[in-house]
Amino acid sequence: MLSIGEFSKACGLTVKALRFYHERGVLTPAKVDPHSGYRYYDEHNLETAHVIRALRDLDFSLDDIAQVLENCDDDRDAVAYLENHKRQLAEKLDHYRDLIHKIDRLVTQQQQTREDVAMNQASFEIEERQTEPMLVAGLRMTGRYCDMGKGFGQVARKVGRHIAGKAMCLYYDGEYKEEGADFEPCFPIRKAVEAEGLHVRELPAARCVTLIHRGPYDTLSRSYARALAYAKDKGYELDLPSREVYLKGPGMIFKGNPKKYLTEIQLPIKPT
Protein backbone atom coordinates (compact mmCIF):
# COMPACT_ATOMS: atom_id res chain seq x y z
CA MET A 1 0.00 0.00 0.00
CA LEU A 2 1.00 3.59 -0.57
CA SER A 3 1.01 6.41 1.95
CA ILE A 4 -0.99 9.51 1.06
CA GLY A 5 2.19 11.32 -0.06
CA GLU A 6 3.28 8.44 -2.27
CA PHE A 7 -0.22 8.03 -3.64
CA SER A 8 -0.34 11.76 -4.42
CA LYS A 9 2.73 11.40 -6.64
CA ALA A 10 1.36 8.27 -8.28
CA CYS A 11 -2.07 9.72 -9.20
CA GLY A 12 -1.27 13.41 -9.74
CA LEU A 13 -3.66 14.70 -7.08
CA THR A 14 -2.56 16.88 -4.19
CA VAL A 15 -2.65 15.62 -0.63
CA LYS A 16 -5.16 18.36 0.16
CA ALA A 17 -7.42 17.14 -2.67
CA LEU A 18 -7.14 13.52 -1.52
CA ARG A 19 -8.19 14.48 2.00
CA PHE A 20 -11.12 16.47 0.59
CA TYR A 21 -12.23 13.59 -1.65
CA HIS A 22 -12.05 11.26 1.35
CA GLU A 23 -14.22 13.63 3.41
CA ARG A 24 -16.77 13.77 0.58
CA GLY A 25 -16.78 9.98 0.20
CA VAL A 26 -15.57 10.07 -3.40
CA LEU A 27 -12.17 8.46 -2.89
CA THR A 28 -11.99 6.41 0.30
CA PRO A 29 -8.53 5.04 1.20
CA ALA A 30 -8.12 1.27 1.31
CA LYS A 31 -7.02 1.58 4.92
CA VAL A 32 -6.97 4.23 7.63
CA ASP A 33 -4.79 3.55 10.68
CA PRO A 34 -7.15 3.80 13.67
CA HIS A 35 -4.36 5.11 15.93
CA SER A 36 -2.47 7.57 13.73
CA GLY A 37 -5.23 8.38 11.23
CA TYR A 38 -2.77 7.83 8.38
CA ARG A 39 -4.37 6.98 5.06
CA TYR A 40 -3.13 4.17 2.82
CA TYR A 41 -4.11 3.52 -0.80
CA ASP A 42 -4.09 0.50 -3.13
CA GLU A 43 -4.32 -0.23 -6.87
CA HIS A 44 -8.13 0.09 -6.87
CA ASN A 45 -7.80 3.57 -5.34
CA LEU A 46 -5.33 4.47 -8.08
CA GLU A 47 -7.81 3.52 -10.80
CA THR A 48 -10.53 5.58 -9.08
CA ALA A 49 -8.18 8.55 -8.82
CA HIS A 50 -7.49 8.43 -12.57
CA VAL A 51 -11.26 8.44 -13.25
CA ILE A 52 -11.70 11.45 -10.96
CA ARG A 53 -8.91 13.37 -12.72
CA ALA A 54 -10.36 12.57 -16.15
CA LEU A 55 -13.84 13.75 -15.15
CA ARG A 56 -12.52 16.88 -13.42
CA ASP A 57 -10.68 17.73 -16.65
CA LEU A 58 -14.11 17.59 -18.35
CA ASP A 59 -15.46 20.02 -15.72
CA PHE A 60 -17.70 17.47 -13.99
CA SER A 61 -18.92 18.54 -10.56
CA LEU A 62 -17.97 16.43 -7.55
CA ASP A 63 -21.57 15.27 -7.13
CA ASP A 64 -21.68 14.12 -10.76
CA ILE A 65 -18.35 12.34 -10.34
CA ALA A 66 -19.73 10.50 -7.32
CA GLN A 67 -22.70 9.31 -9.42
CA VAL A 68 -20.44 8.09 -12.22
CA LEU A 69 -18.23 6.18 -9.78
CA GLU A 70 -21.26 4.61 -8.13
CA ASN A 71 -23.06 3.55 -11.30
CA CYS A 72 -20.40 2.95 -13.96
CA ASP A 73 -17.75 0.28 -14.47
CA ASP A 74 -16.38 1.32 -17.87
CA ASP A 75 -16.60 4.03 -20.55
CA ARG A 76 -19.73 2.49 -22.11
CA ASP A 77 -21.60 2.85 -18.83
CA ALA A 78 -20.56 6.51 -18.63
CA VAL A 79 -21.90 7.52 -22.07
CA ALA A 80 -25.25 8.72 -20.74
CA TYR A 81 -23.50 10.87 -18.12
CA LEU A 82 -21.18 12.29 -20.77
CA GLU A 83 -24.11 13.15 -23.07
CA ASN A 84 -25.98 14.83 -20.23
CA HIS A 85 -22.87 16.80 -19.25
CA LYS A 86 -22.44 17.85 -22.88
CA ARG A 87 -26.02 19.22 -22.91
CA GLN A 88 -25.37 21.16 -19.71
CA LEU A 89 -22.19 22.66 -21.19
CA ALA A 90 -24.10 23.67 -24.34
CA GLU A 91 -26.73 25.42 -22.21
CA LYS A 92 -24.00 27.25 -20.29
CA LEU A 93 -22.38 28.24 -23.58
CA ASP A 94 -25.64 29.74 -24.84
CA HIS A 95 -26.04 31.55 -21.52
CA TYR A 96 -22.55 33.03 -21.66
CA ARG A 97 -22.99 34.02 -25.29
CA ASP A 98 -26.16 35.87 -24.30
CA LEU A 99 -24.25 37.62 -21.51
CA ILE A 100 -21.52 38.62 -23.97
CA HIS A 101 -24.17 40.12 -26.29
CA LYS A 102 -25.62 42.07 -23.35
CA ILE A 103 -22.19 43.37 -22.34
CA ASP A 104 -21.38 44.32 -25.95
CA ARG A 105 -24.70 46.18 -26.17
CA LEU A 106 -24.04 48.00 -22.91
CA VAL A 107 -20.54 49.04 -24.00
CA THR A 108 -21.82 50.17 -27.42
CA GLN A 109 -24.63 52.18 -25.83
CA GLN A 110 -22.23 53.95 -23.50
CA GLN A 111 -19.84 54.75 -26.34
CA GLN A 112 -22.75 56.13 -28.36
CA THR A 113 -23.89 58.16 -25.36
CA ARG A 114 -20.48 59.81 -25.07
CA GLU A 115 -20.63 60.69 -28.77
CA ASP A 116 -24.14 62.09 -28.42
CA VAL A 117 -23.13 64.16 -25.41
CA ALA A 118 -20.07 65.50 -27.23
CA MET A 119 -22.22 66.52 -30.20
CA ASN A 120 -24.87 68.25 -28.11
CA GLN A 121 -23.07 69.54 -25.02
CA ALA A 122 -22.49 73.02 -26.44
CA SER A 123 -26.18 73.89 -26.46
CA PHE A 124 -29.57 72.27 -26.22
CA GLU A 125 -31.63 74.31 -28.64
CA ILE A 126 -34.95 73.55 -30.27
CA GLU A 127 -34.52 72.17 -33.77
CA GLU A 128 -36.64 70.93 -36.62
CA ARG A 129 -35.42 67.78 -38.28
CA GLN A 130 -36.53 64.77 -40.25
CA THR A 131 -36.21 61.44 -38.45
CA GLU A 132 -35.38 58.35 -40.50
CA PRO A 133 -37.65 55.28 -40.75
CA MET A 134 -36.73 52.86 -37.97
CA LEU A 135 -37.50 49.20 -37.30
CA VAL A 136 -38.70 48.92 -33.70
CA ALA A 137 -40.09 46.37 -31.25
CA GLY A 138 -42.52 47.84 -28.72
CA LEU A 139 -44.90 46.89 -25.94
CA ARG A 140 -48.13 48.93 -25.93
CA MET A 141 -49.16 49.63 -22.33
CA THR A 142 -51.94 51.38 -20.44
CA GLY A 143 -51.19 52.53 -16.92
CA ARG A 144 -48.89 54.85 -15.02
CA TYR A 145 -45.71 56.27 -16.49
CA CYS A 146 -43.71 54.70 -13.65
CA ASP A 147 -44.62 51.28 -15.10
CA MET A 148 -42.53 52.05 -18.17
CA GLY A 149 -39.37 50.46 -16.75
CA LYS A 150 -41.07 47.07 -16.51
CA GLY A 151 -42.12 47.44 -20.13
CA PHE A 152 -38.57 48.14 -21.25
CA GLY A 153 -37.43 45.09 -19.30
CA GLN A 154 -39.92 42.83 -21.09
CA VAL A 155 -38.95 44.15 -24.52
CA ALA A 156 -35.23 43.83 -23.80
CA ARG A 157 -35.60 40.23 -22.63
CA LYS A 158 -37.39 39.22 -25.83
CA VAL A 159 -35.27 41.03 -28.44
CA GLY A 160 -32.09 41.78 -26.48
CA ARG A 161 -29.48 40.61 -28.96
CA HIS A 162 -31.23 42.43 -31.83
CA ILE A 163 -31.33 45.87 -30.15
CA ALA A 164 -29.67 48.48 -32.35
CA GLY A 165 -30.08 51.81 -30.58
CA LYS A 166 -31.33 53.84 -27.66
CA ALA A 167 -34.46 53.05 -25.70
CA MET A 168 -37.40 55.21 -26.67
CA CYS A 169 -41.06 55.60 -25.72
CA LEU A 170 -44.05 56.53 -27.88
CA TYR A 171 -46.86 58.51 -26.24
CA TYR A 172 -50.32 58.20 -27.76
CA ASP A 173 -52.10 60.73 -25.52
CA GLY A 174 -52.17 64.41 -26.29
CA GLU A 175 -52.14 65.22 -22.60
CA TYR A 176 -50.48 64.20 -19.34
CA LYS A 177 -52.31 61.45 -17.45
CA GLU A 178 -51.76 60.19 -13.93
CA GLU A 179 -53.71 56.99 -14.62
CA GLY A 180 -54.57 55.11 -17.79
CA ALA A 181 -51.82 56.66 -19.89
CA ASP A 182 -51.34 55.09 -23.33
CA PHE A 183 -47.66 54.59 -24.15
CA GLU A 184 -45.26 52.13 -25.80
CA PRO A 185 -41.70 51.41 -24.60
CA CYS A 186 -39.62 50.52 -27.69
CA PHE A 187 -36.15 49.57 -28.85
CA PRO A 188 -34.77 49.97 -32.37
CA ILE A 189 -33.83 46.52 -33.72
CA ARG A 190 -31.56 45.30 -36.51
CA LYS A 191 -34.04 42.95 -38.18
CA ALA A 192 -37.68 41.93 -37.93
CA VAL A 193 -38.18 39.15 -35.40
CA GLU A 194 -41.20 37.38 -33.98
CA ALA A 195 -41.66 38.15 -30.29
CA GLU A 196 -44.87 37.22 -28.53
CA GLY A 197 -46.72 40.22 -27.13
CA LEU A 198 -44.54 42.79 -28.93
CA HIS A 199 -45.42 45.02 -31.87
CA VAL A 200 -42.58 44.77 -34.40
CA ARG A 201 -42.82 47.18 -37.33
CA GLU A 202 -41.19 50.11 -39.09
CA LEU A 203 -41.70 53.42 -37.31
CA PRO A 204 -42.20 55.88 -40.17
CA ALA A 205 -40.06 58.92 -40.81
CA ALA A 206 -41.40 62.14 -39.38
CA ARG A 207 -40.58 65.83 -39.41
CA CYS A 208 -40.28 66.77 -35.74
CA VAL A 209 -39.73 69.62 -33.36
CA THR A 210 -36.91 68.28 -31.23
CA LEU A 211 -35.25 69.35 -28.01
CA ILE A 212 -32.69 67.58 -25.82
CA HIS A 213 -33.57 67.83 -22.14
CA ARG A 214 -30.80 67.59 -19.57
CA GLY A 215 -31.90 66.53 -16.09
CA PRO A 216 -34.25 64.24 -14.16
CA TYR A 217 -37.37 62.89 -15.80
CA ASP A 218 -39.62 64.77 -13.37
CA THR A 219 -38.41 68.05 -14.90
CA LEU A 220 -39.20 67.08 -18.50
CA SER A 221 -42.32 69.26 -18.43
CA ARG A 222 -40.14 72.38 -18.63
CA SER A 223 -38.62 71.28 -21.92
CA TYR A 224 -42.01 70.18 -23.23
CA ALA A 225 -43.31 73.68 -22.50
CA ARG A 226 -40.48 75.19 -24.58
CA ALA A 227 -40.99 72.79 -27.49
CA LEU A 228 -44.78 73.24 -27.49
CA ALA A 229 -44.46 77.02 -27.38
CA TYR A 230 -42.09 76.87 -30.35
CA ALA A 231 -44.53 74.72 -32.35
CA LYS A 232 -47.41 77.08 -31.55
CA ASP A 233 -45.41 80.13 -32.60
CA LYS A 234 -44.67 78.40 -35.91
CA GLY A 235 -48.32 77.51 -36.38
CA TYR A 236 -47.59 73.79 -36.48
CA GLU A 237 -50.24 71.16 -35.80
CA LEU A 238 -48.58 68.32 -33.90
CA ASP A 239 -49.16 64.64 -34.54
CA LEU A 240 -49.21 61.56 -32.31
CA PRO A 241 -47.51 59.56 -31.02
CA SER A 242 -44.88 61.90 -29.63
CA ARG A 243 -41.52 60.36 -28.85
CA GLU A 244 -38.87 60.40 -26.14
CA VAL A 245 -35.43 58.97 -26.88
CA TYR A 246 -33.34 58.22 -23.79
CA LEU A 247 -29.83 59.23 -24.82
CA LYS A 248 -28.47 58.93 -21.30
CA GLY A 249 -30.35 57.60 -18.30
CA PRO A 250 -30.21 54.83 -15.72
CA GLY A 251 -27.82 52.13 -16.84
CA MET A 252 -28.15 48.37 -16.58
CA ILE A 253 -25.80 48.42 -13.59
CA PHE A 254 -25.68 51.93 -12.11
CA LYS A 255 -28.53 54.42 -11.73
CA GLY A 256 -26.23 57.30 -12.59
CA ASN A 257 -26.75 60.96 -11.79
CA PRO A 258 -30.30 62.11 -12.78
CA LYS A 259 -28.96 65.65 -13.25
CA LYS A 260 -26.94 64.32 -16.20
CA TYR A 261 -29.73 62.35 -17.88
CA LEU A 262 -30.28 63.32 -21.52
CA THR A 263 -33.70 62.84 -23.11
CA GLU A 264 -34.54 63.89 -26.65
CA ILE A 265 -38.15 65.06 -27.04
CA GLN A 266 -39.52 64.55 -30.55
CA LEU A 267 -42.88 66.14 -31.44
CA PRO A 268 -43.99 65.06 -34.93
CA ILE A 269 -45.48 67.79 -37.12
CA LYS A 270 -48.57 66.92 -39.15
CA PRO A 271 -47.93 67.22 -42.90
CA THR A 272 -49.53 70.24 -44.55
Q: Indicate whether 249 pLDDT > 60.
A: yes
Segment among 42-51, 117-126, 174-183 with least mean pLDDT = 117-126
- Note whether 209 and 223 are within 8 A (CB): no
With cut-offs at 50, 70 and 90, classify the pLDDT of residue 101. confident
Q: Which strands, in side-by-side order, build the sheet including 31-32?
A: 2-3, 39-41, 31-32
pLDDT 10s digits, 192-234? 999 999 999 999 999 999 999 999 898 999 999 999 999 999 9
**Class of 99-268 in CATH:** alpha beta
Distance between CA atoms of residues 83 and 88, nearest Å:
9
Distance from C-alpha of 141 to C-alpha of 148, rounded to nearest angstrom? 8
Higher pLDDT, 33 or 170: 170
pLDDT above 60 (res 29): yes
Domain ranges of the chain: 2-71, 99-268
**What phi and psi, each to the nearest 5 degrees, are found at residue 212?**
-90, 125
pLDDT at 69 over 60: yes
State the chain's mean pLDDT as an integer.
90
Using CA atoms, how far residue 120 sits from 94, 214, 247, 264, 271, in Å, is 39, 10, 11, 11, 27
pLDDT of residue 260: 87
What percent of the chain is predicted at pLDDT more than 70?
93
pLDDT attached to residue 106: 78
Q: Hey, what's the torsion of the CAs at 31, 35, 38, 39, to 10 degrees?
A: 20
Reported as a pLDDT band with limits 50, 70 and 90, residue 76 is confident
Tell me which DSSP letter residue 163 carries: B
pLDDT one-digit tens code per residue, 150-170: 999 999 999 989 999 999 999
Element (DSSP H or E) covering residue 208:
strand 206-214
Q: Specify whether the CB–CB gap between 149 and 102 falls below 8 A.
A: no
Domain covering 2-71: architecture? Orthogonal Bundle (1.10)
